[in-house]
Each structure stands twice: as structure tokens, then as C-alpha cells.
Chains A and B, each alone.
Chain A
Amino acid sequence: MSAKALMAWQDLALGTAICEPGSAAKLKTGDWRSMAPSLDEEKCIQCGICLILCPEFCISEHDDGFFRPDYDYCKGCGICANECPKDAITMGREEK
């Protein structure tokens, strides 16, 4: 098996089934992003609409009650900023 290969064919499950659920999370899609959302906690009313409408399913509720994205997966589409009823989320250029 070459160093580049993901796995050897001998290791595949019967019928090329994938036995590990949710393993796509190994790929951090956050590096697709050019614009990043940032939350203004003064304006945020913690309604959680951003959590429901995130197509990456990467926004979660934190212990302090605010909803924040996981930047490992956020692709920076901007739906959360566009749909926020209080305009608490703004999109800014990603800092490298």
C-alpha cells in the first residue's frame, strides 16, 4: 500500500460498506471559507435560528447560552448572517 493511499483494498468491508458512521467529519471543510461569521453578543437574543438554518450543521449552543459555529467546518456561506433577526452576525474577510 502506497503512502498516499487512504486504505488497502484488503481492508475494505464486504460490499464496500462503510462501517463507521459520520466519518466525513474527518475532513475539516473550514478551509473552503473566504468569509467568516462573527457574533455580536450585545445584539444576540439567543433565539437559535442560526442553528436551525446552518447547512453545515456546525452551529451549537454553548454553556453561556450563545450559539456559535465550529470554524473547523463552517464554509462561510453567510446564511446565518442573512437570516439573523437581530443582525447580530456579520461576515468578515477571513484572516490568514
Chain B
Amino acid sequence: MLNEVDLSKYEKITAKTIPTEKGISSGHRACQGCVEILAMGMVMKAVGRNVIVANATGCMEIVTSPFPQTAWNVPWMHVAFENTSAVASGIEAALKIREKHGKLKGERPKVLAFGGDGATADIGLQALSGALERGHDFTYVCLDNEAYMNTGIQRSSSTPYGAMTTTSPPGSNSIGQSTWKKNVPAIAAAHNIPYVATASPGNYLDLMNKVRKAIAIDGPAYIHIYAVCPTGWGIKSEKGIELSKLAVKTNVFPLYEVIGGKYILKENKNPKPVVDYLKIQRRFRHLSETDVEYIQKRVDAEYAHLAAMASCAAPEEEENDE
């Protein structure tokens, strides 16, 4: 059965009402052209100031908190890889009980958890699953740069097929990363939570509005954000946003929402060939034509699967019959 999701508190952002308030200050230590910190900044703009953040270890934790300084303008907590979702659950539970006892002044702050792909797909997966299953009212944002960039580009289970990393080097007996990218949004959606979405900073309005929806609904929400890493992927620092848009246009990273179990896919009628996306990145430079063909086939198949999921409209008539 599909859930009813209450979106009455959702305030849409339009091109004219994009917030300019900075949750993260300038002077952070991210690399030139880092799209991950940009995506995080967009999330913070959409959320506003009334928020408490739990941030897993990773690039974003390192670059925003060079002790004794911090780039955060909101309450923020660094937690280990494993327990980001657990800490966010604890914050949410504490806020709830304080509100119950009348000790909380003003509106209850939103709770946000940030993790990289390593913290989400590998190390923190069971804590995330637990928090989603318990139904805490929080938003988990995965900033997916497709490897452990902060320690020197080691592969994670979110690294795409064929990519070169320091622990999946290509050679005569290796294609690079030998497994396909783990589908974490689908894992989150399988928990039957009210809101799951994928977003790309190239489509910034779409990203900010997805964040607004995620914080507006009651219960857990999961947002998977595609975060280009110029350093780790081997692209020029100015190409980050261009590549973010290209990933959506080639269907490598399709944008969709799962609201109450119902898939809503942003349709891409004239997809570009995947080779356009692969050829500008150094991590895919060793791929042969047959490898590219295989990736194209699999990307097409995954998009077709998503489109099929989206075409299954909510079976309202059937529910009425019951």
C-alpha cells in the first residue's frame, strides 16, 4: 500500500525567490571548483537557519571545520562515519521530548544529516537503515562524489563501473572499478519512507525544491545528490556544473522522486550518448569502445526500469475496492 504524504507545509522556491542567506561561510578549505560544497551550500540555503546538522566524516567535514575555526553558521556536529543517522535520530528524539515538556522555545529546528557516498553506501548504511525504519523526522542528504576523495580517491561501493581510482587501477587484467554503482536511493525507497529523491546541483532550483519538500514532510526523507569532484574525477575546475548537467542529460544520473512509494521521473526525451559524459573525465579515459557500449546498454536499461516504475500510477481504484 502506498503512503499518504502531507506536502501542505512545502514552500516552493522560484527563480526570483532563491534565498541568499549563507549557512556555510566563505573561507572554507574545499578544492577549487568543488561541486560538493556548492551542493551543500544550496541545501543550506533551502533549509534556512533553524536547523541542527550532523555531519559524517569526509571531505565536507574536513574542509568546513579546520580547528579552531568553522565555516558553519548553524549548530553543527561532526560524527563518525558509522553513526551519522544514529546521532541525527538522537537529536530529533531530544528535540521532541524537550518540546513535549515545554522547554523548547520557538519552532522545532529541522534535523539534517550529511554523509558522503562512503558514509552512506558503505560504512553508515546500517545506521541509516535503522533511522529510516524507526521513522525519525529528519532529512538525510548523501553527497555522492563516487569515491573516498578525502583520503586520496579510494573506491567505494558507489564508484561507477570502469572508473579509475587508486584502489581500482586499470591495467591489462583490470578495467578499473569492476562492479556497478550501488543503488542507494532504491535501498532508501525500499524502507517505504515518505520521501526519496535524487538531485543534481546543475538543476539547482529542482535541488532546492526537493530539499524544501524533504524538510516539509513529517518523517524521514532521503536525498541523493550527485556531487562532481574535479580533483578525483580528472576534470578542469570550471567544468563541474557542466558535468552535473551532462550526467542528467545522458541518463547516467536520472532525476526522480519517490513520494509515498510513488515514482515521479523527470523525463529526458532526447538523451545524449553516454560517451559524451565519459570522454571528458580522466577516470574513464582507459575505457575501450566495447566497454562504453556495455555502459550505454546498462544505463539505458536502468532508465527504462525507472520509467516503468514511474508509469505505474498509484492504484487508487484498487485501494477503493478494498
Residues of chain A at the chain B interface (Cβ within 8 Å): 6-7, 12, 16, 18, 20-29, 32, 48, 51-58, 60-61, 70, 72-73, 75-79, 81-83, 91
Contacts and interface: CB of A to CB of B under 8 A. Distances in A.
B33 A22 contact: no
Contacts of B242: 82-83
A24 B35 CA distance: 19
Given A6-B68, A21-B74, A53-B241, A79 B27 contact: no
B311 interface: no
Nearest to A32: B32
Nearest to A73: B26
A63 to B, nearest CB: 15
Interface in B22-68: 22, 24-30, 32-35, 37-38, 41-42, 64-68
B18 interface: yes
Interface in B191-245: 201, 204, 230, 236-242
Interface of B: 18, 20, 22, 24-30, 32-35, 37-38, 41-42, 64-74, 201, 204, 230, 236-242
A29 B64 CA distance: 13
Main secondary structure of the interface of B (DSSP, over half): loop
A78 B68 contact: no
Contacts, number: 113
B69 A55 contact: no
A81 B238 contact: yes
Contacts of A91: 238
Given A78-B33, A78-B238, A7 B27 contact: no
A26 B67 CA distance: 12
24 contacts: A20-B69, A21-B73, A23-B68, A24-B25, A24-B64, A24-B66, A24-B71, A25-B27, A48-B18, A55-B33, A55-B35, A55-B38, A57-B26, A57-B41, A58-B26, A61-B20, A73-B26, A76-B32, A77-B237, A78-B236, A78-B237, A78-B238, A83-B241, A83-B242
Nearest to A69: B26
A22 B65 contact: no
A23 B69 CA distance: 5
A57 B240 contact: no
B275 to A, nearest CB: 21
A8 B296 CA distance: 57
Contacts of B240: 55, 77, 79
A72 B26 CA distance: 9
B27 A75 contact: no
B70 A22 contact: yes
Given A23-B25, A29-B27, A53-B201, 12 more contacts: A18-B69, A22-B73, A23-B69, A24-B70, A27-B69, A29-B29, A54-B38, A77-B240, A78-B237, A82-B242, A83-B241, A91-B238
Contacts of B24: 57
Q: Which 9 A-B pairs have the closest CB atoms?
A: A78-B238, A77-B33, A22-B25, A24-B71, A73-B26, A25-B27, A55-B38, A82-B238, A77-B32
A21 B65 CA distance: 11
Given A53-B204, A55-B34, A82-B241, A24 B29 contact: yes
